[in-house]
């Protein structure tokens, strides 16, 4: 009999989370690997271990305690950790990511136990490649990196934002079967504008203000070059950067580096997927839609840019496509007469006055789709929904702000008498109409997109991520909502099926990469087997 692990034995083996099996080591393995006396006598099956873990999780008082417990499990037994998450993503994703992660990030310095990634500080400028080589894995395929500048509606929380790339990459594995050893969370610690953190005795980050733009640009440029030098097959996943920085760096690097911004492109893809599914229900063509964004920040602009590309794929010119998108922000309509617009917003500037209320804009442009990315909960009132219903028989309403949606599913269904096709950034319960019809609101959650994209990137090693690839991910997701779901107004597949959904998206995207000369791997004979071979196993290796 050969040992199930390499090189390690005794307590060293039990302290290695990647190879440790704990009580599942057999009697023979315990003798062979020097584990006798180091474990309780009972030999448990993998199923036994999972039941024990599930019981212990259920005994915790709240999701923050469950989060801390699960991170402790990861430090002891990686396979068991990911198998638990993958067994019920609908239950566990909200614990390891939003909404629990907002609380985690607020308390990150207080609950810190051990590093699960790297901290690259502005003070390491000039030595970033040298520092990156301290990471023990050589074949890193995805880095999720944040500055902590805009975390889950919490604003600038500096190094406490490290919880975000950690959680995001755990979802890559739990929902997309991306091998965890290929993933690296990174906090770029550039300081923070949060004065309370400067005074917090437990805060683990730099107690200084962020650098000016020119210095930050130099730091990020060095970081991007260092990643390509140290990890040449790596995709950089930008996450929760301050809006203007997010737009600037995506525009700068997307055509020359393998990179991706989930807040911009992931949100755009999952929104486009929901719209495509909704249009299957209303039986309306995409190119005839008129879209109003309530909010004009990075997420809105990312969605708008992708929708323009999708419109152009349907035969519209760029000018025609842009004319079908209108935006509002806190100062009113994004219009050509305003002098405070970002360069990225000018593409969507409307002829007219900025001094318009939401209702006035809806009456003026008669949108068929209303997308909320304002962070202002409750702003889609009864009057707004009723006005949308005057424009089209089946209005599409996506209040995507987190944690407070612009309107709830119950409000949208009630005020529209069940006509609205609805998805939000948060999950709402099913709604029963007065006629007894059950409507199931969707959650436009980026986790429908990035795990499958991540698996395809890991497997095929593309040179860059194009807009067309992001559109393909949206179409691959939209195609997976079945007729039974459509009858209940459901715009996304069940979250319980996210593993299968991600696998199919990975298949589609890998095929797209090979067919469009994006991939660096050799074209496989069987794409399904190719993706299976690349996927992480949620069981102990034999």
∠382-388-390 over CA atoms, to 5°?
110
Q: What distance in Å separates the CA atoms of residue 56 and residue 36, rounded to the nearest whole number?
A: 26
Tell me, rounded to whole angstroms, the distance of Cα 238 from its chain centroid: 10
In the chain, the N- to C-terminal Cα span, in Å, equals 11
Strands 438-439 and 442-443, sheet pairing: unpaired
Q: Is 97 a catalytic residue?
A: yes
Pick the catalytic residue from 168, 260, 448, 458.
168
Q: What distance in Å separates the CA atoms of residue 70 and residue 57, rounded to the nearest whole number?
A: 8
Tell me, rounded to whole angstroms, the distance of Cα 49 from its chain centroid: 29
Q: What distance in Å separates the CA atoms of residue 391 and residue 89, rounded to the nearest whole number?
A: 38
Three-class DSSP category at 227: helix
| Residue 50 φ then ψ, to 5° | -65, -40
Going by C-beta distance under 8 Å and a sequence separation of 6 or more, which residues neighbour residue 328?
Answer: 292, 293, 294, 295, 296, 334, 356, 358, 361
Q: What distance in Å separates the CA atoms of residue 304 and residue 324, rounded to the nearest whole number?
A: 10
Q: Is 249 a catalytic residue?
A: no
| Residue 371 φ then ψ, to 5° | -120, 125
With contact defined as beta carbons under 8 Å apart, do 444 and 425 qualify? yes
DSSP string of 323-354, one letter each residue: HTEEEEETTEE-BTT-SS--HHHHTTPBSS-S
Tell me, rounded to whole angstroms, the distance of Cα 369 from its chain centroid: 23
The four Cα atoms 524, 527, 529, 530 give a dihedral, to 10 degrees, of: 60
Quote helix, strand, coil % in the chain, to nearest 5.
Answer: 50, 10, 40
Pick the catalytic residue from 97, 348, 422, 431.
97
DSSP code, position 462 = B
Distances (CA, A) of 172 to 103, 142, 459: 21, 10, 13
- Tell me how many helices (H) and strands (E) the chain has: 25, 14
Q: Where are the alpha helices (DSSP H) in 177-266?
A: 195-199, 213-230, 243-253
Choose among 288, 268, 283, 276: nearest CA to 373.
268
Q: What distance in Å separates the CA atoms of residue 216 and residue 199, rounded to the nearest whole number?
A: 24
Question: So which residues are the catalytic ones?
Answer: 97, 168
């Amino acid at each position: 009999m050969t040992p199930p692990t390499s090189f390690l034995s005794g307590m060293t083996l039990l302290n290695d989370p990647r190879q440790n099996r704990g009580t599942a080591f057999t009697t023979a393995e315990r003798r062979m690997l020097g584990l006798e006396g180091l474990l309780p006598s009972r030999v448990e099956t993998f199923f036994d271990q999972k039941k024990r873990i599930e019981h212990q999780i259920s005994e915790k008082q709240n999701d923050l305690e469950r989060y801390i417990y699960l991170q402790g499990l990861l430090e002891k037994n990686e396979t068991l950790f990911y198998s638990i998450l993958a067994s019920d993503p609908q239950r566990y994703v909200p614990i390891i990511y939003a909404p629990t992660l907002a609380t985690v990030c607020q308390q990150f310095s207080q609950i810190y136990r051990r590093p699960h990634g790297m901290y690259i500080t502005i003070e390491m400028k000039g030595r970033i490649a040298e520092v990156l080589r301290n990471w023990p894995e050589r074949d890193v395929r995805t880095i999720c990196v944040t500055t902590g500048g805009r975390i889950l509606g919490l604003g600038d929380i500096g190094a406490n934002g490290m919880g975000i790339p950690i959680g995001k990459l755990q979802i890559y594995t739990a929902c997309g079967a991306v091998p965890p050893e290929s993933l690296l969370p990174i906090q770029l610690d550039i300081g923070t504008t949060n004065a309370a953190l400067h005074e917090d005795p437990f805060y683990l980050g730099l107690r200084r203000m962020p650098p000016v733009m020119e210095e930050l640009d130099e730091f990020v440029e060095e970081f991007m070059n260092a990643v390509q030098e140290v990890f040449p097959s790596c995709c950089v996943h930008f996450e929760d950067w301050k809006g203007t920085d997010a737009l600037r760096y995506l525009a700068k690097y997307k055509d020359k580096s393998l990179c991706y911004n989930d807040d911009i492109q992931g949100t755009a893809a999952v929104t486009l997927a929901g719209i495509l599914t909704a249009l299957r229900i209303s039986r309306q063509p995409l190119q005839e839609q008129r879209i109003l964004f309530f909010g004009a920040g990075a997420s809105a602009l990312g969605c708008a840019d992708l929708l323009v590309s999708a419109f152009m794929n349907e035969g519209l010119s760029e000018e025609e496509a842009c004319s079908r998108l209108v935006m509002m922000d806190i100062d009113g309509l994004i219009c050509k007469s305003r002098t405070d617009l970002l360069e990225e917003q000018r593409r969507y500037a409307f002829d007219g006055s900025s001094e318009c209320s939401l209702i006035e804009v809806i009456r003026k442009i008669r949108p068929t789709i209303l997308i909320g990315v304002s962070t202002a909960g409750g702003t889609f009132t009864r009057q707004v929904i009723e006005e949308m219903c005057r424009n089209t028989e089946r209005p599409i309403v996506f209040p995507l702000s987190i944690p407070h949606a612009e309107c709830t599913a119950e409000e949208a269904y009630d005020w529209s008498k069940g006509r609205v096709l609805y998805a939000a950034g948060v999950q709402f319960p099913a709604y029963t109409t007065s006629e007894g019809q059950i409507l199931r609101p969707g959650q436009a959650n980026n986790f429908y997109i990035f795990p499958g994209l991540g698996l395809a990137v890991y497997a095929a090693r593309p040179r860059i991520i194009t807009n067309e690839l992001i559109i393909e991910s949206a179409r691959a997701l939209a195609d997976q909502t079945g007729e039974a779901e459509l009858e209940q107004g459901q715009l996304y597949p069940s979250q319980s099926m996210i593993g299968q959904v991600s696998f199919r998206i990975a298949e589609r995207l890998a095929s797209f990469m090979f067919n469009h000369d994006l991939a660096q791997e050799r074209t496989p004979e069987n794409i399904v087997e190719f993706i299976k071979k690349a996927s992480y196993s949620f069981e102990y290796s034999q």
